[in-house]
Amino acid sequence: MPVVVPAFSRIGEENAFAVLARATALAQAGRDVINLGIGQPDMPTPPHVVEAAVKALQDGHHGYTPATGILPLREAVARDLDRRLGVQVSPDSVMIVPGGKVTMFMAILMFGEPGAEILYPDPGFPIYRSMIEFTGATPVPVPIREENGFAFSAEETLALITPRTRLLILNSPANPTGGVTPKAEIDKLVAGLAAHPDVTIMSDEIYGTMTYDGERHHTLLAYPEIRDRLIYLDGASKTYAMTGWRLGWSVWPAPLYDAARKLAVNSFSCVNAATQWAGIAALDGPQDCVAAMMAEFDRRRLLVVEGLNKLPGVSCITPKGAFYAFPNISETGWKAKALASALLEEAGVATIGGPDFGIHGEGYLRLSYANSAENIARALERIGSFLEGNR
C-alpha cells in the first residue's frame, strides 16, 4: 500500500469546500439550500475580460510562457499598483501565479521548517495554518479581536515575535471577518518591525479593492523600510470575479524572486497563457465593473448586518472590507460549528463555523454575502426562525 510522508498527516483543508459539497448534495436531493458559505463573487467575470481570453486563444497563445509570467501582464500589475495605491514596483519583481494561494504556498515553503515560528492571523484564512504545519514549522496564531473591529493589533503582533520567528503573515481586508486594519496600526507595526530585521512579512491583500464606507486600503508596499523583506500577495479572483481562472500575482524582494521562480519551474511551469492575457484586460480595462460589483456588495452588506443584529442572541459589527460578515453568536447558547451544521441540515442555509478559521473563531459564524439580496433576506428569515425554535 502506498504510504505518503508524515507531513501529509499535518496538512489541512478549507472547510468551505466541504460545506459547498454538502450544500450541493442536499440541493441535488431536492432541498432548497441558500449558500452563504462560499467565498467567491456570484457575478460573472466581466465580458471584456472573457473576450480577451478568447482572442488570445484565437491569436495562437497556446504555448508555455516564462515561468514568472508574460512581461505585458507584469507591467500591467505594476501600472495597477501605481494607479490604485500610488506605489512603484518593477515588473521584474512581479511574479504571475495560478491564484493567490500559490503565493502563500511558496512563501510558507521558503520559511517553514522545524524550529521556525510563523505568525498568522486567527481567525484567518485556513490555508495559512495548514501549510505552516505541513512544513513542520510552529504556527503562532495572532488573535484578531472583535473589540479591535477585527483589525490586527500591532502591539499584540510584535509581542509574539521571538528569535525563532521567520515569517509574519498579515491580511487586510480580512477573511473571514471583513476587518480592515487602520493605517495608524500598520504604521506602528512597521515601526516595531525595525527591531526584528530577520522577520519576513507576507501581506495578503487579495481583498485590497474591496473596502466600504470610504475606507481606503493601506498597502504594506507603501513602506520602503520593509520592502526588502515584504512579499505582497494579490490576484484577480475576488476583484474581477475570476476564482476559476486561477490568476494571482505577487511582488517579491530580489533575494526571494529567484526561489519563487524555481518553485514555479518545478511545479506549474506557468499560468495558462490565455488567462494571463485576460488579466491584462482586467487590470488595464475599464474599472466600472469593479465599482458596480462593490456597490452591489455594499447594499447586501448593510442588509446582512441589519438582519443579523435583529436575530436573538446575535450581534454583528459592520465589516469594512471583503464580502463577509462575522456575527458573534455566543449569546445564542450554540457552539459555532454545531450551529453552522444545524443551519445547513435543518434550515437549509450554508454558513461556516468560526472555528474553521482558528481557535479564536469560536463564538462566531462566517456569512458570505456573495449571494443575491433576495436570498440573503430569505436566509436571515430561516436563521431567525431556527434560532427562535431552538432556544
Q: Which stretch binds ligand PLP (CB under 6 A): 93-101, 160-168, 184-192, 361-369?
A: 93-101
* String marking each residue 245-284 x if it binds ligand PLP according to CB under 6 A: ---x------------------------------------
* Count of C-beta atoms within a 10 Å radius of residue 281: 20
Q: Shortest gap between Cβ of 99 and ligand PLP (angstroms)? A: 3
358 binds ligand PLP (CB under 6 A): no
Q: List b or e across 334-353, with b for residues whose CB sees 16 or more CB atoms inside 10 angstroms.
A: bbbbebbbebbeebbbbbbb
Q: Which stretch binds ligand PLP (CB under 6 A): 152-160, 181-189, 235-243, 265-273?
A: 235-243
Which residue pairs, CB below 8 angstroms and at least 24 apart, start in 59-66?
A: 61/273, 61/274, 61/277, 62/273, 63/273, 64/269, 64/270, 64/273, 65/270, 65/271, 65/273, 65/276, 66/270
Q: List b or e across 318-331, with b for residues whose CB sees 16 or more CB atoms inside 10 angstroms.
A: ebbbbbbbbbbbbe
181 binds ligand PLP (CB under 6 A): no
332 binds ligand PLP (CB under 6 A): no
178 binds ligand PLP (CB under 6 A): no
39 binds ligand PLP (CB under 6 A): yes
Residues 6+ apart with CB under 8 A from 307: 376, 377, 380
Q: Shortest gap between Cβ of 233 and ligand PLP (angstroms)? A: 7
**Which residue in 37, 65, 95, 101 binds ligand PLP (CB under 6 A)?**
101
Q: Say which DSSP state 211 is in.
A: B
237 binds ligand PLP (CB under 6 A): yes
Q: Which stretch binds ligand PLP (CB under 6 A): 22-30, 94-102, 182-190, 215-223?
A: 94-102
366 binds ligand PLP (CB under 6 A): no
Q: Say which DSSP state 319 is in.
A: -
Q: Which is nearer to ligand PLP, 142 or 347 (CB)?
A: 142
Which ranges of 120-216 would DSSP assign to H, the alpha helix?
Answer: 126-135, 154-159, 183-193
Which residue type occupies 338? Answer: A
Look-up of cell digits 494579490: 234
Binding site residues, ligand PLP, CB under 6 A: 39, 99-101, 125, 171, 175, 204, 206, 235, 237, 243, 248
